Amino acid sequence: MNNSMVKYLSLCFLSVQTASHVLITRYSRTADTSHPYLPRTTVALVEVTKLLICIAIHFCNKGFRISVTFTSILDEVVRKPKECLKLSVPALLYVCQNCLLFVALSNLNSATYQVCYQLKILTTALFSVFMLSKRLSSTQWLALLLLTIGVVLVQVMKSEDDGSMSDSTLGSVYASMMAVLLASCLSGFNGVYFEKVLKSSKQSLWIRNIQLAGASILIAFTSLYLFDYEAIQTAGFFQGYTWATWAVICLSVISGLTVAIVVKYADNILKGFAVSISILISTFISFYFLDDFEPNFGFFLGAPMVIGATFLYGMNFEKAKPA
């Protein structure tokens, strides 16, 4: 298989995977609201699964030798608490980001959510400029401006449509919008911070991910203890779980590992393109099959702007060199 074929295949895979992740998460939060699952339990399970997978990949990389794998994890993770501490910052913020996305998808349809979450391209660019001293071309700045205007159009026109909603529903929609905006900021910061840590040392991606998942597990289970202890005592850890909840967990694991690989091999652009294509897939499925979405004028104007801006930004990526 040649390089461009691999690129197109990964683009298809990423687009379908991103669309299914968002659609199934939305479905899992809205299908049976009489007994909803606790989102923090899924965040904790996702981190445990990612840790096990990263250990398995590290084991393969070490030639399937148990003692070598064990010693290297001991040396690189347990005996280097400072390195683990460095990753506790993104670990904490990723746990918050992952929980915020459940809040967002409980009240926003998949298409609106995805368009707004593309703001992470803007936040990633800004954090890259400030933290990694990257330089952006004028076309890229123009693309970021278009992206922001597109998201604002989708949001503002959506708010005007909301006149018929009750106060409590409107409050939940605003809370979800705030959640997606905050998650975009966290995504930008976390992505750039992780890239900086990864590229500033010789530790392998999988060791870094073991450190990240280890810290995330501690944080996720502490948050479960603090916020969900009573609910778990009353109805159990797996309360409200359905096939959709398990699908959300599997797809979150796949997305997390994809993000890790994308950061390592620097094809963030491919990921941006994939999300744009997945917006089209989610919009189509939300509208035709799930009856969850009625595009308004703001969406018709804003969504193509966001998708176009993503491509414009990505096409000019090669020109953006570190200062």
- How far apart (Å, rounded) are the C-alpha atoms in residues 263 and 36? 33
Residue 29 in tokens:
């939060």
Nearer to ligand C5P, 14 or 143 (CB): 14
Check residue 245 for interaction with ligand C5P (CB under 6 A): no
Residue 254 in tokens:
């796949």
Check residue 50 for interaction with ligand C5P (CB under 6 A): yes
Q: Which of 37, 94, 293, 299 touches ligand C5P (CB under 6 A)?
A: 94
Considering only the stretches 64-72, 233-241, 253-261, 291-299, report the one whose residues sit in contact with ligand C5P under the rule CB under 6 A. 253-261
Nearer to ligand C5P, 204 or 242 (CB): 204
279, 306 Cβ separation under 8 angstroms: yes
- How far apart (Å, rounded) are the C-alpha atoms in residues 208 and 265? 15
Closest CA to 315 of 159, 196, 139: 139
- How far apart (Å, rounded) are the C-alpha atoms in residues 7 and 269? 11
Check residue 194 for interaction with ligand C5P (CB under 6 A): yes
Check residue 259 for interaction with ligand C5P (CB under 6 A): yes
State how far Cα 234 lies from the chain centre: 31
* Closest distance of CB 303 from ligand C5P, Å: 18
Q: Which of 53, 260, 269, 277 touches ligand C5P (CB under 6 A)?
A: 260
Helices (H), 162-240: 167-199, 205-235
Considering only the stretches 30-38, 67-75, 255-263, 288-296, report the one whose residues sit in contact with ligand C5P under the rule CB under 6 A. 255-263
Per CB under 6 A, which of residues 127..156 are in contact with ligand C5P? none
Q: Taking phi first (over 0 means left), then psi (-120 to 50 degrees means alpha), and beta for anything else, what does residue 291 get? A: left
What does DSSP assign to residue 202? -
Binding characters for ligand C5P, 203-242, by CB under 6 A (x = yes): ------x--x------------------------------
* Closest distance of CB 259 from ligand C5P, Å: 4
Neighbours of 229 (CB within 10 A): 10
What does DSSP assign to residue 134? B
Check residue 191 for interaction with ligand C5P (CB under 6 A): yes
Nearer to ligand C5P, 154 or 192 (CB): 192
Q: Please report, as ranges, the residues that interact with ligand C5P according to CB under 6 A.
A: 50, 94, 98, 187, 191, 194, 209, 212, 255-256, 259-260
